[in-house]
């Protein structure tokens, strides 16, 4: 069974509790709608001279499950941005096309 999940959020909000368990399941696909796009997953500090922190199991699970992302505002996407709306529709109807 394939699970599809669309995240719609504002940057800075943490992922919901229990999402790690969901993302560890085989076949889970994610589409992230957020101003930071897929970068919302990586909360490690990045600065010159700073040794990067290792990737956490949650980050790795989420990165492996991402099947698409949009940085556009959701209102704009559904009120005229045909390219971004097409990306979401493509993600949501993927299993129907098989």
Using one digit for the tens of pLDDT, what is the confidence trace for 49-98? 888 888 888 788 888 888 888 888 888 888 888 999 999 888 888 766 66
Would you say residue 57 lies in a domain? no
20 or 53: which leads in pLDDT: 53
pLDDT band (50, 70, 90) for residue 11: low
**Total number of domains constituting the chain:** 1
Predicted pLDDT of residue 96:
65
Mean pLDDT of 12-19: 60
Beta strands at 28-33 and 66-70: parallel, antiparallel or unpaired: parallel
Task: Assign 43 to helix, strand or coil.
Answer: coil
Task: Assign 30 to helix, strand or coil.
Answer: strand
Predicted pLDDT of residue 57:
80
Would you say residue 77 lies in a domain? yes
Sign of the torsion formed by the C-alpha atoms of 13, 64, 35 and 2: negative
Q: Which domain holds residue 71?
A: 64-91
């Amino acid at each position: 069974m394939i699970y599809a999940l669309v995240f719609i959020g504002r940057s800075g909000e943490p992922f919901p509790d229990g999402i790690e368990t969901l993302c560890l399941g085989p076949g889970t696909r994610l589409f992230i709608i957020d101003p930071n796009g897929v970068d919302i997953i990586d909360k490690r500090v990045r600065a010159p001279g700073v040794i990067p922190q290792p990737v956490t199991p949650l980050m790795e699970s989420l990165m492996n499950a991402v099947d698409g992302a949009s940085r556009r505002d959701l209102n704009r996407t559904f009120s005229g941005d045909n390219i971004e709306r097409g990306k979401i529709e493509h993600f949501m109807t993927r299993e129907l096309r098989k």
